[in-house]
């Protein structure tokens, strides 16, 4: 992620490191604003662009877990 600025803010919901990307705002380390969750295998991640299927088990049941929110 060469267009991202590393910061010491972390996500209010998951505690992961967040990055500020020009034009898109706060994103998770993998580049996605939304942390995704798979109820079938328990996978969690924030790839960008958001996948429509779980990258681990290919389930279509994945959903948004939360949106990146920097802690003050
Ligand atoms: Zn998070
Ligand atoms: Zn899965």
pLDDT tens sequence across 33-56 = 999 999 999 999 999 999 999 999
Higher pLDDT pick, 5 / 58: 58
- Residue 72 included in any domain: no
- Residue 7 pLDDT > 60, yes or no? yes
The whole domain housing 34 covers 4-67
- Residue 57 included in any domain: yes
44 CA → ligand 2 middle, Å: 8
- Residue 4 pLDDT > 80, yes or no? no
- Residue 48 included in any domain: yes
3-state secondary structure the chain: CCCEEEEEEEECCCCCEEEEECCCEEEECCEEEEEEECCCCCCEEEECCCCCCCCCCCCCCCEEEEECCECC
- Residue 39 included in any domain: yes
Q: How far apart are CA 33 and CA 66, in angstroms?
A: 9
Residue pair 24/45 in contact (Cβ under 8 Å)? The answer is no
9 CA → ligand 1 middle, Å: 11
Residue pair 37/54 in contact (Cβ under 8 Å)? The answer is no
Average pLDDT over residues 27-31: 94
Q: How many domains does the chain have?
A: 1
28 CA → ligand 2 middle, Å: 19
To the question of pTM greater than 0.95 for the whole model, the response is: no
- Residue 34 included in any domain: yes
Per-residue pLDDT band at 8 (split at 50, 70, 90)? confident
Q: Which ligand number lies closest to the CA of residue 59?
A: 2
- Residue 14 included in any domain: yes
- Residue 50 included in any domain: yes
């Amino acid at each position: 992620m060469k267009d991202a600025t590393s910061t010491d803010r972390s996500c209010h919901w998951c505690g992961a490191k967040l990055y500020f990307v020009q034009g898109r705002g706060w994103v998770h380390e993998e580049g996605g604003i939304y942390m995704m969750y798979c109820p079938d295998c328990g996978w969690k991640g924030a790839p960008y662009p958001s996948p429509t299927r779980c990258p681990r088990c290919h389930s279509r049941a994945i959903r948004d877990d939360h949106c990146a929110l920097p802690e003050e």
